[in-house]
Amino acid sequence: MMGPGDGKWALCGNDEVTVMTEVVSALVPVTLDGNVLTVRMQRPEKRNALNVEMYAALATALRRANSDPAVRVVVITGGPDCFTAGNDILDFVGNPPADDTHPVMQFLFALTDFEKPLIAAVNGAAVGIGTTLLLHCDLAYAAEDARFHLPFVNLGLCPEAGSSLLLPMRAGSHRAAEAILLGQPFDAATALSWGLVNRLTAPGQADAAALEAAQRVAKQPPAAIRAARQLLREPLRLPLHDALRREAEAFVARLSSPEAAESFQAFMERRPPDFSPFS
């Protein structure tokens, strides 16, 4: 997989992994095809659950793409059966996003400040950040059998990735409350009706649809595209920064809460959590 002339986007084998340490880990391979960069979450044994290493790689890949004139569009995708299972909670508990220098926050700010078109391709499950990430994308395509889930409160946690601001704006306050407070999965047709994705595809075809759209956008005048995107996005940039910090503060506090501890223990013991002792 070859990239710009200096090879910094290349990841062809173990002998080149060291070249990519600044940009990507083996868990986040990148591919440059023409002017379209594909960033893939690839941790199938954990259903692409994001750990700190992956967040750091995603943040660096977005920053590098933002400054590389060879990249006009970025497509973010996961595996054929799962976009991402969300955050690796045990990894989060051991290394919570305590300040803006944490890889999670670096990724979220890189996402918020990204200046080029960002397109998502969703196959299978999109849990937590897998759904809230879509709120930052300009275009999103999902397979008809994709499933979406915001289980934050189920785990004793709270919304993240600016979703407390963006989801009510996109889906409406009542639908946002339904998704977050009930914490129940919803299907791709619902995601489409709520405005989380642009179009549904046949199973397994989300990547192809996203790449087709990316190639079309990449052929447009790049300066005009950036100007249009800035006009669309800039009014929310600073409010989003504020929301990200407020959410992170609440999220870290919730990670150490008794409710979260009960949720994680119940998950490991494969039983329903018991929140009856908590007020």
Residue 239 pLDDT > 70, yes or no?
Answer: yes
Q: Give me the CATH number covering residue 226.
A: 3.90.226.10
Least confident of 5-19, 213-227, 249-263, 265-279: 5-19
Q: Residue 211: inside a domain, yes or no?
A: no
Domain count, the chain: 1
Least confident of 20-29, 42-51, 138-147, 215-224: 20-29
190-199 pLDDT, tens digit per residue, is 999 999 999 9
Residue 15 pLDDT > 60, yes or no?
Answer: no
- DSSP of 15-47, one letter per residue? GGGGGGTTT--TTS-EEEETTEEEEE---GGGT
Closest C-alpha among 115, 141, 135 to residue 207: 141
How confident is the model over 73-84, as a mean pLDDT? 97
pLDDT at 226: 95
Residue 12 pLDDT > 50, yes or no?
Answer: no
Residue 22 pLDDT > 50, yes or no?
Answer: no
Q: Residue 9: inside a domain, yes or no?
A: no
pLDDT at 279: 72
Q: pTM of the predicted model, to two decimals?
A: 0.90
Q: Residue 227: inside a domain, yes or no?
A: yes
pLDDT at 25: 80
Please state, in angstroms and as integers, the Cα–Cα distance from residue 2 to each residue in 5, 22, 37, 62, 81, following that order: 9, 16, 11, 17, 26
Least confident of 16-30, 31-45, 125-139: 16-30
Least confident of 158-167, 185-194, 234-243, 263-272: 263-272
Residue 97 pLDDT level (bands cut at 50, 70, 90): confident
Higher-scoring residue by pLDDT: 11, 216: 216
How confident is the model over 156-166, as a mean pLDDT? 96
Domain that holds residue 111: 14-204+222-269
Strands (E), 134-221: 139-143, 147-149, 186-187, 199-201
Q: Spell out the residues 6+ positions from residue 190 whose beta carbon is closer than 8 angstroms to its own.
A: 148
Residue 1 pLDDT > 50, yes or no?
Answer: no
Q: Residue 104: inside a domain, yes or no?
A: yes
Higher-scoring residue by pLDDT: 20, 109: 109
Least confident of 7-16, 31-40, 131-140, 233-242: 7-16
Closest C-alpha among 189, 225, 193, 201 to residue 35: 225
pLDDT at 17: 30
Higher-scoring residue by pLDDT: 136, 267: 136
Reading phi first (left if > 0) and then psi (alpha if -120 to 50, else beta), residue 106 is in alpha
Closest C-alpha among 102, 28, 101 to residue 65: 28
Q: Residue 41: inside a domain, yes or no?
A: yes
Q: Residue 246: inside a domain, yes or no?
A: yes
- Give the number of other Cβ atoms within 10 Å of residue 111's Cβ: 22
- Give the number of other Cβ atoms within 10 Å of residue 71's Cβ: 24
Q: Residue 275: inside a domain, yes or no?
A: no
What is the average pLDDT value for the chain, to the nearest integer? 90
Q: Give the C-alpha separation, 233 to 114, whole Å.
A: 10
Burial 221-230 (b: 16+ CB within 10 A, else e): ebeebeeebe
How confident is the model over 30-37, as a mean pLDDT? 95
**DSSP-derived pairing of the beta strands 30-33 and 73-77:** unpaired
pLDDT at 89: 84
pLDDT at 24: 61
* Look-up of token digits 């790689």: 57
Describe the strand order of the beta sheet including 186-187 as a list of residue ranges.
82-84, 125-127, 147-149, 186-187
Q: Residue 176: inside a domain, yes or no?
A: yes
**DSSP-derived pairing of the beta strands 139-143 and 36-40:** unpaired
